Amino acid sequence: MQDLKQRTFDFAVNIGNLVLELPYNVVNKQYFNQLIRSSSSVGANYRAARRAKSDADFLNKLKIVEEECDESLYFLELFSVFNKKHFTKIEPLISEATELLKIFVSSINTTRDRLGKK
């Protein structure tokens, strides 16, 4: 399995490339900044989580990763509605965001179980 550090970096790069390909219009303009911020935050916060000082710190940082990944997924879904002719470029990123989100939720649940938290 590809290292998550590299995978989250690639996710942000692929989002950036998508944004460069989509038409610049009033709707996309508003969503571009949000998607770029949230997708790059996935990797940045995952890197921070890897440097966590404790399981509790790791859990808190990973929850931020989960939120940013879910936000990225939301904006990708919006882009797919407003950019139907570019769906073949957007769909793989929706799949990747969904897969990453599942991985992070699983890690959160595993860490919670280890810490005895709900």
pLDDT tens for each residue of 71-85: 999 999 999 999 999
pLDDT band at 118 (very low <50, low <70, confident <90, very high): low
Tell me how far apart the alpha carbons of residues 74 and 7 are, in angstroms, rounded to a whole number: 19
Class level of CATH domain 4-115: mainly alpha
Task: Give yes or no for residue 1 having a pLDDT over 60.
Answer: no
Residue 66: per-residue pLDDT: 98
Rounded CA separation 90/51 (Å): 31
pLDDT category of residue 114 using cuts at 50, 70 and 90: confident
Contact status, residue 88 vs residue 82, Cβ threshold 8 Å: no
Longest dimension (CA), the chain: 48
For the chain, which residues make up each domain, given as ranges?
4-115
φ, ψ for residue 18 (rounded to 5)?
A: -60, -45
